[in-house]
C-alpha cells in the first residue's frame, strides 16, 4: 500500500500542469515513502527517517514559497505560465526546493547520513525513484528559463556534484556511504544533461536506474554492509562477489560497460555547446570515483584469488545466479548500446 501511494504521488506530481498540484504530489510521495523507511523499526532507520523528513519538508517549503510568489504576480498556478513572468526570485526558490530534494551540490549534506541507516530496499528507492520527480521537474524549469546565467549556474552545480561525489567516496569503507556519494555524482551528471536536452537526460537516468537496481539487489542477496565483508563470503560466492565488483565499475563509468554509455551520450551532446569546458570537472569527478572503484576491484580480485575460467561456470542454479545475470546486463548492455546510440547522438 505504501509503495502504491509513493508511486501515485510521483505520477501525480509529474502529470500536474500547475505547481500546486506538483507540490501536493511530492507530499503524497513523501507520506508513502516515510513508512517504508521505518519498516524494520530500528533506531538507525528512525534517525534516517527524521533527517529525511526535515530535509524534504524544507524543500517543500521552498517549492510552495516559489509557487506562491509566482501566483502573486501572475494569478495563475500554471507551471510554465509564471516561469516567464514571475521574475527571478520565484524561479530561484523553486530551483532551491528541487535541488534540495535531489541532493545536488551544495545541498548534498543530508544524503550520506540518511542512506547510512536504511535497508537495501529503502536505499534503492531513495537513490532511484525518489529522484525521478525532482529531476524531471528541474528539466521543466530549465526548459522554461530564458536566462543564460541560469543555464550556466546549473551546469556549475552539476560539475560541483560530480567533484563532491568523487572526493567524498575516497575514504569510505561502508558501502551505503560509498553509494550515496556515487549517487551525488550521478545527480550532477543528470543535472548537467538536463541543461542540454531531454533525450540525453532520459538515457542517463534510465541507465543509472538499471545499474542501481543490479547493484542494490546484489547487495541484498550478499547481505553485506561493509566493503571488507563482500570479499569474505566464501569460496562458493566468489562468482557473486566478482560480479558485484564489476557492476561497481559499471556504476563508475568504466568503458565498455553500461555505465560508460550514459556518460558518453552526455559528453557527445555537450561538446557542441559553448560551456563544454565544464565537462573537465565532471570527468574529473568521475575519474576520482573510478579510482576507488578500481582499488576495491583489485583488492577483491587479489583476496578472492578468482580464476575467471572456473568462476563463471554455471554448474548450479543458486542465489548468485541473479548476480551473474545482472553482471551480464552491465557487460553486454554497453556493447549493444554502442551499436545503436552513435546515430542518435553523433
What DSSP designation does 255 have? T
The confidence score (pLDDT) of residue 193 equals 86
Structural contact between residues 325 and 246, judged by C-beta atoms closer than 8 angstroms? no
The better pLDDT of the pair 25, 294 is held by 25
- Which range scores top for mean pLDDT: 36-40, 205-209, 247-251, 317-321? 205-209
Look-up of cell digits 530496499: 121
The confidence score (pLDDT) of residue 345 equals 46
Structural contact between residues 213 and 247, judged by C-beta atoms closer than 8 angstroms? no
> In which band, very low, low, confident or very high, does the pLDDT at 105 lie, cut at 50, 70 and 90?
confident
Question: In the listed set 122, 137, 163, which residue is the last one of a domain according to the structure?
Answer: 122
The confidence score (pLDDT) of residue 81 equals 46
Query: How large is the average pLDDT for residues 269-273?
Result: 74
| Same-domain status, 196 and 152 | yes
Closest CA to 35 of 9, 62, 63: 9
Beta bridge partners of 18: 78
130 is a domain residue:
no
> In which band, very low, low, confident or very high, does the pLDDT at 237 lie, cut at 50, 70 and 90?
low
Tens-digit pLDDT profile for residues 201-219: 888 888 899 888 888 887 8
| Same-domain status, 100 and 153 | no
135 is a domain residue:
no
| Same-domain status, 289 and 331 | yes
The rounded distance, in Å, linking the Cα atoms of 346 and 344 is 6
Query: How large is the average pLDDT for residues 280-306?
Result: 76
The rounded distance, in Å, linking the Cα atoms of 209 and 213 is 6
Looking at the whole model, is its pTM more than 0.85? no
The better pLDDT of the pair 105, 145 is held by 105
Q: Tell me: pLDDT of 183 over 80.
A: yes
The better pLDDT of the pair 237, 163 is held by 163
Domain count within the chain: 2
Query: How large is the average pLDDT for residues 163-189?
Result: 86
| Same-domain status, 82 and 27 | yes
203 is a domain residue:
yes
Question: Which sign does the torsion angle of CA 78, 79, 83, 89 carry?
Answer: positive
The confidence score (pLDDT) of residue 8 equals 92
Beta bridge partners of 78: 18
Closest CA to 64 of 28, 97, 31, 104: 97
Q: Which residues touch 215 (CB under 8 Å, ≥6 apart)?
A: 179, 244, 247, 248, 251, 326
| Same-domain status, 171 and 285 | yes
Look-up of cell digits 565499475: 249
- Which range scores top for mean pLDDT: 270-274, 283-287, 325-329? 283-287
Centroid of chain to Cα 156: 18
Tens-digit pLDDT profile for residues 52-102: 999 999 988 888 887 777 666 665 555 554 454 455 677 778 888 888 888
The confidence score (pLDDT) of residue 309 equals 43
The rounded distance, in Å, linking the Cα atoms of 45 and 296 is 27
The rounded distance, in Å, linking the Cα atoms of 94 and 132 is 16
Query: How large is the average pLDDT for residues 227-232?
Result: 52
Tens-digit pLDDT profile for residues 108-146: 888 888 888 888 888 889 888 888 888 888 887 776 655
The rounded distance, in Å, linking the Cα atoms of 155 and 243 is 34
| Same-domain status, 98 and 216 | no
Structural contact between residues 327 and 297, judged by C-beta atoms closer than 8 angstroms? no
> In which band, very low, low, confident or very high, does the pLDDT at 334 lie, cut at 50, 70 and 90?
low
The confidence score (pLDDT) of residue 214 equals 83
| Same-domain status, 47 and 109 | yes
Q: What is the 3-state secondary structure (H, E, C) of 169-210?
A: CCCCCEHHHHHHHHHHHHHHHHHHHHCCCHHHHHHHHHHHHH
What percentage of the chain carries pLDDT values higher than 70? 72
The confidence score (pLDDT) of residue 314 equals 44
| Same-domain status, 112 and 233 | no
Q: Is the peptide bond before 346 cis (omega within 30 degrees of 0)?
A: no
Tell me the residue range of the domain where 25 lies: 1-122
140 is a domain residue:
no
The confidence score (pLDDT) of residue 44 equals 84
3-state SS assignment for residue 303: helix
| Same-domain status, 108 and 166 | no
Cell numbers at residue 124, please? 534503492
Q: Which residues touch 206 (CB under 8 Å, ≥6 apart)?
A: none
3-state SS assignment for residue 147: coil
The confidence score (pLDDT) of residue 236 equals 42
Structural contact between residues 82 and 18, judged by C-beta atoms closer than 8 angstroms? no
Cell numbers at residue 144, please? 522554461
Cell numbers at residue 89, please? 526570485
Q: Tell me: pLDDT of 250 over 60.
A: yes
> In which band, very low, low, confident or very high, does the pLDDT at 324 lie, cut at 50, 70 and 90?
low
Query: How large is the average pLDDT for residues 232-248?
Result: 62
Q: Tell me: pLDDT of 33 over 50.
A: yes
- For the stretch 194-197, contacts whose Cβ atoms lie closer than 8 Å and that sit 24 or more positions apart, written own/partner, are 194/135, 194/138, 194/139, 194/142, 194/154, 195/142, 195/151, 195/154, 195/155, 195/158, 196/266, 196/269, 196/270, 196/273, 197/269
Query: How large is the average pLDDT for residues 185-189?
Result: 90
- Return mean pLDDT, the chain: 76
Half-sphere exposure of 8 (CA within 13 A, CB side): 9
11 is a domain residue:
yes
| Same-domain status, 97 and 240 | no
Beta bridge partners of 174: 226
What DSSP designation does 18 have? B
137 is a domain residue:
no
| Same-domain status, 108 and 170 | no
Query: How large is the average pLDDT for residues 33-43?
Result: 84
> In which band, very low, low, confident or very high, does the pLDDT at 315 lie, cut at 50, 70 and 90?
very low
Amino acid at each position: 500500500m505504501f509503495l502504491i501511494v509513493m508511486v501515485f504521488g510521483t505520477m501525480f506530481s509529474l502529470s500536474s500542469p500547475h505547481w500546486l498540484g506538483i507540490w501536493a504530489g511530492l507530499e503524497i510521495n513523501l507520506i508513502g515513502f516515510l513508512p517504508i523507511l521505518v519498516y524494520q523499526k530500528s533506531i538507525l532507520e528512525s534517525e534516517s527517517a527524521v533527517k529525511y523528513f526535515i530535509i524534504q519538508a524544507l524543500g517543500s517549503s521552498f517549492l510552495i514559497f516559489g509557487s506562491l510568489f509566482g501566483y502573486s504576480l501572475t494569478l495563475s498556478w500554471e507551471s510554465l505560465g509564471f516561469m516567464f513572468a514571475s521574475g527571478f526570485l520565484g524561479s530561484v526558490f523553486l530551483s532551491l526546493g528541487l535541488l534540495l530534494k535531489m541532493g545536488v551540490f551544495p545541498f548534498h549534506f543530508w544524503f550520506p547520513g540518511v542512506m547510512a541507516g536504511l535497508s537495501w530496499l529503502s536505499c534503492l528507492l531513495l537513490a532511484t525513484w525518489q529522484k525521478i520527480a525532482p529531476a524531471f521537474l528541474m528539466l521543466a524549469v530549465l526548459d522554461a528559463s530564458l536566462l543564460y546565467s541560469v543555464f550556466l549556474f546549473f551546469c556549475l552545480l552539476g560539475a560541483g556534484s560530480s567533484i563532491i561525489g568523487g572526493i567524498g567516496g575516497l575514504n569510505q569503507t561502508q558501502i551505503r556511504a560509498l553509494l550515496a556519494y556515487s549517487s551525488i555524482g550521478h545527480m550532477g551528471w543528470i543535472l548537467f544533461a538536463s541543461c542540454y536536452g531531454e533525450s540525453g537526460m532520459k538515457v542517463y537516468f534510465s541507465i543509472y536506474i538499471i545499474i542501481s537496481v543490479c547493484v542494490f539487489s546484489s547487495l541484498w542477496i550478499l547481505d553485506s554492509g561493509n566493503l571488507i565483508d563482500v570479499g569474505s563470503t566464501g569460496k562458493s560466492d566468489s562468482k557473486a562477489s566478482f560480479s558485484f565488483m564489476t557492476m561497481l565499475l559499471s556504476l563508475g563509468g568504466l568503458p565498455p560497460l553500461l555505465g560508460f554509455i550514459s556518460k558518453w551520450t552526455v559528453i557527445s551532446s555537450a561538446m557542441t555547446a559553448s560551456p563544454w569546458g565544464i565537462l573537465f570537472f565532471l570527468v574529473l569527478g568521475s575519474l576520482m570515483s573510478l579510482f576507488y572503484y578500481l582499488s576495491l576491484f583489485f583488492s577483491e580480485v587479489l583476496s578472492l584469488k578468482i580464476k575467471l575460467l572456473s568462476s563463471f561456470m554455471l554448474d548450479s542454479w543458486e542465489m548468485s545466479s541473479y548476480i551473474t545475470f545482472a553482471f551480464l546486463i552491465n557487460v553486454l548492455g554497453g556493447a549493444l548500446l554502442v551499436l545503436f546510440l552513435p546515430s542518435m547522438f553523433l
